[in-house]
Structure 1
Amino acid sequence: MVGYNNLLQDKELLKKFEKHSKIAGVIFLLLGLVGIFYPVIMSLTAAYFVAFLFIFSGLTFGYHTWQTDKKDWLGWLKAFIYLLTGILVTIFPVPGVAALGIILAIYFFMDGFASFALSSQMKGQKYNWLIILNGILSIILGVIFLVYWPFGSLVLVGLFVGISMFFDGIVLLSMSSVVKKLEDEDSSNDSNA
């Protein structure tokens, strides 16, 4: 809460937050819509992004090994594996998307079971039903990914990334709106004083 209170007290920071949240929110909304309406493009983009991360990691690890111990064959092996994985996903992005699909399925199952575990600890709490609902939805999403894997991953990965980005955009725009209202209230209070 200290960060939030500091944000409310610093008017210049508040103006920057409002402006940049609005810009980022619009960008996320647009990217989300691309993912929702063109999920295959978003899935392939996600695969290429992961490929880039692997290639960058391989180059970085190779540089590190070169600078620290040129005879470290495990360091070179790790750099090679990163590079090879990144290059393979770049050349063959559809299997990369399928791999992302199975990773997301595992994530959703783990998230669902974690929600159920949290729910059992929160028995009797007012919003426990939301935790249970989150767990049920996560399990359903995991099942959907498994049922349609690997070929459905080409659509599902992009669709769910798009939906996530779309809602992130809504959250950022909402936060920008709240901050704008706070600024307006503060300025009207200052003029009345």
Structure 2
Amino acid sequence: MSIYFEIGPEPVAEKLGKQTFWLGIALLIVGAIGIFLPEFLALTINYFLAWLLILAAVFMGYLTWITPYKDLSSWLKPILLLAVGILLFVFPTAGIATLTLLLALYFIMDAAINFALARQIYPMKGWGWMVFNGIVTFVLALLAAYGWPETSGVFLGVIVGISLFLDGAVFTRVGWELKKKHKVEIE
């Protein structure tokens, strides 16, 4: 039994539309920033996640506060979110090392998704780029795990940058092919 839907390239072209090309350009730019300023991107990712967790803790705490039936266990999630957010904020090096290991796991899943997407859009031009992206992403996962935790600070920024840059290249290529073959407008 296959989990893939068999669809032709025309509905895919209509769904992806003109945004695919510009999404690719944006990802190329952010990826380049990560490659050339890896420590900056690693710290940005760490602090962004820390603030998101703290904000989630505030919202969950408010929700717990207004709930009529609350006990100590209902405060566990907001307290845990707040604690992890504060720890990431106070100990960015440990946070970056942890995020690098989690990113290695994410890249393994991302590679599998790229292979599945390549199978779905085959034989449309650009499917080979998806396979290439999957292979490179899988290699990045292995490298992230291999250099951990000593190289986490630089490596987190570089591997996120490379991954985003490759995603940008793929989406730009696919968007350009959509423009050429399926007459999708790129404004």
Aligned equivalents of 1:83 and 1:64: distance in 2?
Answer: 14
Relative to structure 1, the CA distance from residue 178 to residue 156 in structure 2 (aligned partners, 3 Å threshold; closer, same or farther) is same
Mapped to 1, the partners of 2:50 and 2:34 lie a distance apart of: 19
User: Is structure 2 residue 162 aligned with structure 1 residue 163?
Assistant: yes
Would the alpha carbon gap of residues 171 and 46 (structure 1) be closer, same or farther in structure 2, given more than 3 Å must change? Answer: same
Q: Confirm or deny: 8 A CA contact 2:43 2:96 kept in the other structure.
A: yes
The change in CA–CA distance for 1:3 and 1:55 in structure 2 (over 3 A counts) is farther
Q: How far off is 1:149 after superposition?
A: 2.2
Q: Kindly provide the CA deviation profile for residues 57-89 of structure 1, in whole angstroms up to 9, marking residues without a partner as x.
A: 212211221122463212212201101211221
Match of 2:51 in 1: 52
SS at match of 2:183: helix
Identity fraction in percent:
36
Segments of 5+ residues of structure 2 without an aligned counterpart are: 1-6, 113-130
Aligned residue-pair number: 162
In the alignment, residue 5 of structure 1 is paired with which amino acid?
Answer: P
In 1, distance between residues paired with 2:52 and 2:90? 15
Q: Structure 1 residues 21, 108: CA separation in 2 closer, same or farther (over 3 Å shift)?
A: closer
Q: Give the TM-score of the pair, scaled to structure 2.
A: 0.69
1:42-191 counterparts in 2 under 5 A?
42-69=41-68, 71-106=70-105, 134=135, 138=138, 141=140, 144-181=143-180, 182-183=182-183
**Deviation larger for 34-43 or 171-180:** 171-180
**TM-score scaled by length of structure 1:** 0.67
TM superposition shift of 1:49: 2.2
TM-align CA RMSD: 3.7
Partner deviation per Cα, 1:125-176 (whole Å, 9 max, x = no partner): xxxxx7xx95x984x6555334432230101111110011101111221122
CA distance in 1, matches of 2:155, 2:137: 15
Output one character per residue of 1:9-57: Cα deviation in whole Å (capped at 9) or x when no partner: xxxx77xx31x32332221111100111111111111112221221122
Structure with bigger helix share is 1
